[in-house]
Amino acid sequence: MQFILITALALASVAVAIPTGGPTTPTPIPASQCTGPIQCCNSVQSAGAPAVATILGLGINVGLNVMVGLTCSPLSIFGIGENSCTGEIVCCTNNSFGGLIAIGCTVVDINL
């Protein structure tokens, strides 16, 4: 009986340890396709990520696969050399949270 239990636990731990590919990097869009302001966010994560889920727990309803930018500020394409962004350059559909978060973000390639 103990052998079966130990074997089952060992197999379960191997199954949990097998990588599933992890998060994929979204394909960037050209800056010309961005319909809202281009933002510089310190990080961009899925809504299901622990740091984002904590903030969204304040009552913001978002699907788990939606990309969310954290600590964002507007970025002018024309001044990008002067105002370099050390985070992620993104285009987001909902920027109405005072820069704390931006919802529905897509990575922007300013060179396209």
Q: What is the pTM of this model?
A: 0.66
- Whose tokens are 């949270």? That residue is 97
Using DSSP's 3-state secondary structure scheme, residue 17 falls into helix
Question: Region 24-53: what's the mean pLDDT?
Answer: 85
| Strand pairing class (29-30; 38-46) | unpaired
Q: Rounded to whole angstroms, what are the CA distances from 6 to 13, 17, 64, 73, 91?
A: 11, 17, 35, 52, 50
CA dihedral 99, 102, 106, 109 (to 10 degrees): 0
Q: Exposed/middle/buried for 111, CB within 10 Å: 0-12, 13-18, 19+?
A: exposed
pLDDT in tens, 67-100: 999 999 988 765 555 457 889 999 999 988 888 8
Instruction: Please answer whether residues 28 and 44 qualify as being in contact, where contact means their C-beta atoms are separated by less than 8 angstroms.
Output: no
What does the pLDDT read at residue 98? 87
pLDDT in tens, 13-22: 333 344 444 4
Confidence of residue 102 (pLDDT cuts 50, 70, 90): very high
